[in-house]
A and B are shown apart, each in its own frame.
Chain A
Amino acid sequence: MAFIATFVWCYILWLVLTAGSKGMLWSTEELIAGVIFSAIVAYATRNVIGEKASRFLNPVKWVGFIVYSIGPLFWGMVKANFDVAYRVITGRIKPGIVRVPVDLENDAQYTILSNSITLTPGTLTIDACPEEKALYVHWINVTDPHPESSEVLAGSFEKWARRLGR
């Protein structure tokens, strides 16, 4: 199952990278070469990607990822940049490392949430502790030293991460 997941990802990447070899589409030779190379890579790395990776082959999840990255994540990055611009110009910072309790189940959700937190306003993930269900976040402007949830720092990202990484 992990072999299939890796193979599909490799082949999609191959198709994207070689688009345009025959008009706007692919030539037959390249499609066949792609199958062979993807199979080799998938066989070599099938133990790296993990057994549960095949759940990301669900197209509903892809739509979720696209909506998430164009909508909330991009908007968060826009806000983050104007926030950083403001702080660079005025130099008004009040930093601190806070502990944020989160309610997530698996590593994929932790990855999505920490990456989103790093890219959005004034926060940077320093450490993620799945065993105590918490993230340690460097916050550039601490308004609440002991947050009850990630709502104060990250808005709706925890909900999105929980849904996308399930």
Chain B
Amino acid sequence: MIEWTIGIFLAIGVTFNLLASIGILRFPDVYTRIHAATKCTTFGTIFIVLATVTYSIYSYYWVQKDPAWITIGIHSALVVIFLVLTNPVGAHAIGRAARKSGIRPYGAVIDELEGRL
């Protein structure tokens, strides 16, 4: 039962991380690649960490009452918080720097930032 839960979490996480990599290869320009890279890696990593947390809680209560398991769970959960806080900021910085150095979005329908940055 618990193996299946952890396995499903890991499968979701790895699938979306793989999707991010395929997106980086397939999309035409820097902005759309940032789209794939930010959203999918954040989401995939959340699920991988969720699997870790599930495993540590399970191990604490049913395998061995060792507080080290709790420490592992809490530290992994903190990773998620920091990742969700910093990943979009990094993407924003890269996107803005790319636009500032004059890279136009590929096939843009509209570009309001043309000549503004």
Q: Which residue of A lies closest to B99 (CB)?
A: A126
Please determine whether B16 and A81 come into contact, CB atoms closer than 8 angstroms: yes
**Nearest chain A CB to B114 CB, angstrom units:** 8
> Considering only CB atoms and an 8 Å cut-off, how many residues of chain A contact the other chain?
38
Q: How distant is the Cα of A100 from the Cα of B115 in the complex, in angstroms?
A: 17
Please determine whether A97 and B112 come into contact, CB atoms closer than 8 angstroms: yes
- The yes or no answer to A124 lying at the interface (CB within 8 A) is yes
**Nearest chain B CB to A123 CB, angstrom units:** 8
- The yes or no answer to B8 lying at the interface (CB within 8 A) is no
- The yes or no answer to A98 lying at the interface (CB within 8 A) is yes
> Considering only CB atoms and an 8 Å cut-off, how many residues of chain B contact the other chain?
47
B113: contacting residue among A17, A91, A115, A127, CB under 8 A: A127
- The yes or no answer to B63 lying at the interface (CB within 8 A) is no
Report whether over half of chain A's contact residues are helix, strand or loop; otherwise say mixed: mixed
Please determine whether A142 and B110 come into contact, CB atoms closer than 8 angstroms: yes
Q: A81-B16, A88-B23 are in contact. Are A96 and B105 (CB under 8 A)?
A: yes
Q: How distant is the Cα of A95 from the Cα of B31 in the complex, in angstroms?
A: 9
Q: Which residue of B lies closest to A94 (CB)?
A: B109
A118: contacting residue among B78, B88, B108, CB under 8 A: B88
Please determine whether B84 and A127 come into contact, CB atoms closer than 8 angstroms: no
Please determine whether B38 and A118 come into contact, CB atoms closer than 8 angstroms: yes
A20: contacting residue among B36, B74, B107, CB under 8 A: B74
- The yes or no answer to B106 lying at the interface (CB within 8 A) is yes
Q: Which residue of A lies closest to B31 (CB)?
A: A138
Q: How distant is the Cα of A95 from the Cα of B32 in the complex, in angstroms?
A: 8
